[in-house]
Chains A and B, each alone.
Chain A
Amino acid sequence: MLHAISMGAALAILWALLSGMFEPLLLGLGLASIIVTVWIAHRMDVVDHEGHPIHLGPRSVIYFPWLVWEIIKSNWDVAKIILSPKMKIQPHIFKTKASQLSDVGLTTYANSITLTPGTVTITMEMDNSFEIHALTDAAREGVESGEMDRRCTAMEGMKKTAVPKGGKS
C-alpha cells in the first residue's frame, strides 16, 4: 500500500512537472490517469520494493554522486586509452562476487559496473557472481578493489530486515 501511495505521488509530481498547467480539467485528467496507472500496476503486481524502491531513498543520495564521480574518472581513463597512439588494452573476462542481498541491489551494482566505461557486466550467475568484461587490467582492479561493491551494499542497507531474495509477490 505504501508503495502504491508513493507511486501515485511520484506520478502526480511527474504529471505536474511535465504539464506545467494547473487548470481544473487538466488536473482532473491527471488524477484519473494516475489512478488508472496505479491500478494497472497493482494488477500487474509490479508495485513492490522492486518496481518502486523507495526504501533506498536517502542512502541513494550518498551513492549516486559518488557513482557519477566514478563515471567521470573512468571516462577520462578510457578517453586517454582511445587517444593514445599505441592503445594498450587487455580485453578480458573476469568473475567477481557481489555481496548484495536483494535483486534491486544486485541490479544496481551490475548497472553501475556497466555505466563506468572500461567494465561491462555480461552475465549474472545464480550464486551472485558476475562475469565482467574489462578493457584493461586497471579497470579490472577498480572493480576487484570492492569499493563499488561495498558502497552498493551500503546503499541497499539490508542487514536483518532483508526482503527475501527473488521474493516476487
Chain B
Amino acid sequence: MFEFLQTPVGPLPLADWISWICIVIGAFFAIVGAVGIVRFPDVFSRMHGAGMVDTMGINMILVGLMFQADEWIVIVKLGLILLFIFFTSPTTTFALARAAIHGGVNPGPKADEPHKTAKQETTSSNT
C-alpha cells in the first residue's frame, strides 16, 4: 500500500506491518486474559481477566483487521463492531457481577478505608 519494507520472507507493505503488530498485541492480551481466567482464585478476580479480553484483546485485533481492509466500508463496519463492544462489555460484566452477588458469592474482604460507609447489606450476604 505505501512503501514496502523488507522482511525475511519478502517485502511487506507498511499497512500490513501495522496490522500484524496490532493483531499480535491483541492476541497476546487475549491469551493472557484467558490464562488469568484460569489462574485467578475466585469469580470476581476472574472477571478482571475476562475484562482484558474484552478490551485490549478484541479491540487491538479489530484495529489490526482494519488495516487489512480493502474498502472503506469494511473499516466502517469493523469500527462499529469495536464501538458496540466497547459500550456493551461493561454491561455484561456488570450483569455477571450482579448475578454472582445474587447467587451468594463472597466478593472478598472490604477495605476499611475512609470511603467505607454504613450500607453493607448488599454484599455482606452469606457465602
Contacts and interface: CB of A to CB of B under 8 A. Distances in A.
Given A122-B107, A129-B117, A144-B115, A91 B52 contact: no
Contacts, number: 128
A93 B107 contact: yes
Contacts of A87: 39-40
A53 to B, nearest CB: 12
A14 B80 CA distance: 9
Interface in A81-136: 82-83, 87, 89, 91-97, 110-111, 114-118, 120-123, 125, 129, 131, 133-135
A95 B116 CA distance: 5
A72 B108 contact: no
Given A122-B123, A123-B123, A82 B35 contact: yes
A75 B30 CA distance: 11
A157 to B, nearest CB: 20
A12 to B, nearest CB: 14
A115 B86 contact: yes
Contact of B36 (A20, A82, A95): A82
A133 B123 CA distance: 11
Nearest to B73: A20
Q: How large is the interface on B (under 10, 10 to 19, 20 to 34, 35 or more residues)?
A: 35 or more
B98 to A, nearest CB: 7
A78 interface: yes
Interface string A125-153: 10001010111000010001000000000
B36 A114 contact: no
B120 to A, nearest CB: 9
Given A17-B76, A95-B115, A75 B56 contact: yes
A135 B45 contact: yes
Contacts of A123: 98, 101, 122-123
A131 B39 contact: no
B113 A122 contact: no
A79 interface: yes
Contact of B45 (A14, A89, A95, A116): A89
8 contacts: A18-B77, A79-B32, A82-B32, A89-B45, A92-B111, A122-B123, A125-B119, A129-B119
Interface of A: 14, 17-18, 20, 71-72, 75, 78-79, 82-83, 87, 89, 91-97, 110-111, 114-118, 120-123, 125, 129, 131, 133-135, 140, 144
